[in-house]
Structure 1
Amino acid sequence: MKRIFVFLITGFEEIEALATVDILRRAGLNVQTVSLTGERTVSGSHGVTVAADMLFEEVPFGEADLLVVPGGTPAYDGHEGLKREVLAFYEKGGKVAAICASPMVFGGLGILRGRRATCYPGFEKYLEGATLCTDLPVVVDGHVVTGQGPGLTVEFALTLVELMAGRDKRGEIARQLLVG
């Protein structure tokens, strides 16, 4: 079964992380949250505390099919272990996704060079080498997905459903959510 890992760090954007996890799980996908803090409990940017499924050190990256980095804070860009694993996974052809401020992680790693991408307004300068598509809520370019921000999380997550489970499953989940 496909394995998806969604990373949490202090100050993560709750909507982007939790709605994405919720929607992917509704699609029957195997999604696990991963704490980057060294503790299972992680606090989001609006004080919502979440118990992660596992710690970063426990992630079996070799079993991953998709890595998702929600936004809310540039702190993701300071986690060297995350950046190392995201780059290694991407270089092996793995699917990666980031929303809001977190496409900056991909930009700094060179993942967006020559690719179309979007992000939260004001973070465009970090998308090194990307063709900016900031008028689009979600951009898929090859095996890289980027999204703009909290209010567009449902579209971001449904795009990931389509990427991982197909267009029919996306439609099914969208109908359940009353968005399609």
Structure 2
Amino acid sequence: MPKVLAILVDGFEEIEAVTPIDLLRRAGVEVTIATLGDTRTVTGRCGIALQGECSLGDALSREPGGYDCLLLPGGPGVKTLRESTEVIKTVNQQHAAGRLVAAICAAPLVLLEAGILEGRRYTAHGSVVEELPNTLPDEAVVVDGNLVTSRGAGTALQFGLTLAELIVGTDGAQRIAGEIHQMPDKGN
């Protein structure tokens, strides 16, 4: 069974965390929600509290071979993710192993901090364009090798379905899209 590690901290953007986690679990992916520090309950930017399953350290020790994908939601909590040496080390290890690193909204700033965006195609929320001037502003989701980035809360569904496709394949992602009645984009 494919395995994804989602790292949540206070101030995470709820839609950007819950939507891809939900879609991946529907696709049969085991998603571990890890938090930093000793607390398991984290509160999103809109005041919705979620319960993590373990600390980041515990999650990493449970899967010494690594996870198929590392998921980083955006929101004001990105500042905490950027400042965590444990998170930056995890991003670098995941990237060096060639496994998926997925970041949405402001979370590509964590990838910048880890030094893995040089020469890569990516997108991010417009609010971080000063630090990420090479953002592709017209792209909802950008896949460049093992990096997957997305614009923000409004693109979380497409982001989650893209991750599902990369992890379980096109048929699995299309099955999930059908189950949730995702309508095809008509270019409007």
The amino acid across from 2:55 in the alignment is L
2:119 is aligned with 1:114: yes
Q: 2: distance between equivalents of 1:108 and 1:63?
A: 21
Deviations 1:105-164 (A, max 9, x none): 101222111111000112123337xx4211111000000000000011000000000010
Match of 2:130 in 1: 125
Match of 2:71 in 1: 68
- Determine which of 141, 158, 183 is the counterpart of 1:138: 141
For residue 22 of structure 1, give the secondary structure of its aligned residue in structure 2: helix
The amino acid across from 2:6 in the alignment is V
Q: Any stretches of 5+ residues in structure 1 without a counterpart?
A: none
Match of 2:186 in 1: none
The amino acid across from 2:138 in the alignment is D
Q: 2: distance between equivalents of 1:72 and 1:63?
A: 25
2:105 is aligned with 1:100: yes
Contact 2:35/2:55 (CA < 8 Å) preserved in 1?
A: yes
Cα offset for 1:53? 1.1
Match of 1:57 in 2: 57
2:50 is aligned with 1:45: no
- The farther-off stretch of 151-160 and 32-41 is 32-41
User: Pairwise CA RMSD of aligned residues?
Assistant: 1.3
2:165 is aligned with 1:162: yes
Q: 2: distance between equivalents of 1:65 and 1:116?
A: 21
Q: 2: distance between equivalents of 1:88 and 1:63?
A: 9
Contact 2:88/2:113 (CA < 8 Å) preserved in 1?
A: no
Deviations 1:160-179 (A, max 9, x none): 00010011111111111111
For residue 117 of structure 1, give the secondary structure of its aligned residue in structure 2: coil
Structure 1 length-normalised TM: 0.94
Match of 2:9 in 1: 9
Q: Any stretches of 5+ residues in structure 2 without a counterpart?
A: 184-188
Q: Which runs of 4+ in 1 moved over 6 A?
A: none
Structure 2 length-normalised TM: 0.90
Q: 1: distance between equivalents of 2:34 and 2:124?
A: 22
Q: 1: distance between equivalents of 2:13 and 2:160?
A: 14
Same amino acid, percent of matched pairs: 37
